[in-house]
Amino acid sequence: MLVLLPPSEGKAASGRGAPLKPESLSLPGLAAARAAVLDELVELCTGDEVKAREVLGLSEGLRGEVAKNAGLRTAGARPAGEIYTGVLYDALGLASLDPAAKRRAARSLLVFSGLWGALRVTDRIPSYRCSMGVRLPGLGALGAHWRTPLADVLPAVAGEGLVLDLRSAAYAAAWKPQGEVAGRTATVRVLHAPTRKVVSHFNKATKGRIVRSLLSSGVAPEGPGELVTALRDLGYVVEAQAPARAGRAWSLDVLVAEVH
């Protein structure tokens, strides 16, 4: 099983560990694309702060994020699973998983990123600020920048098993599973059952709980149909829609009665 996650906008501090070693990151086929974004982001944030904030969409109150980006090459690095915070990652609670579940997380979780493309949660990175929606002056829109490198690398990473796609729209657009990979992909919405509406906070929290439940239980669904059964066995209310034709993903709605 491969689980595709969005990053978090908020991130923990880099800490005092050894600095980034780009060559140590997983998915080495993304190395050149990563280097191009890193080079331009550092150059941008080392120069005119006002321009950097404008490009990155940062308010005056977030001006410290520009200095953080300028120092990416020398800042301490920590596992990505410790850097990413926020509602989904709080609900997922990687640090409190048992050892077996942590091993499953290291194998199956893939976090998408405007700066790194995609990462394992064990990859050591510094804290940064660069969303997939950013348009850098030289490289242009990051979603478009990542489309070809991710399409080249990720089908092999997906292997022959289930792909559980929990990404938000901007990150989902950077890589869309195609062909037979799409046929074993399941996308998930979390709906407030009484209103049938998506509510951002509990949408993220429930997705984090779903991933934690799967990792902790040790179930390994081989395809979307088996995933639906597994989630129902774990206590989730799931409505599933199989694709109307080959090469399309399954759509799953997880219904939640309480907003929390």
What string of DSSP letters covers 4-38?
EE---SSB----SSPBP-GGGSS-GGGHHHHHHHH
Domain of residue 64, residue span: 2-256
Under 8 Å between Cβ of 254 and 236: yes
Task: List the chain residues with pLDDT less than 70.
Answer: 259-260
Q: Is the pTM of this model over 0.75?
A: yes
Give the separation between CA 68 and CA 71, rounded to whole angstroms: 5
pLDDT digits (tens, 9 = 90+) for 108-159: 999 999 999 999 999 999 999 999 999 999 999 999 999 999 999 999 999 9
Specify the pLDDT at position 244.
85
Give the separation between CA 83 and CA 95, rounded to whole angstroms: 12
Give the separation between CA 176 and CA 197, rounded to whole angstroms: 24
Specify the pLDDT at position 97.
98
Reference 8, options 252, 260, 208; nearest CA is 208
Specify the pLDDT at position 260.
55
Give the separation between CA 223 and CA 160, rounded to whole angstroms: 9
Specify the pLDDT at position 127.
96
Specify the pLDDT at position 259.
59
CA distance readout (Å), 253 to 189, 193, 194, 211, 246: 5, 10, 13, 15, 20
Q: How many domains does the chain have?
A: 1
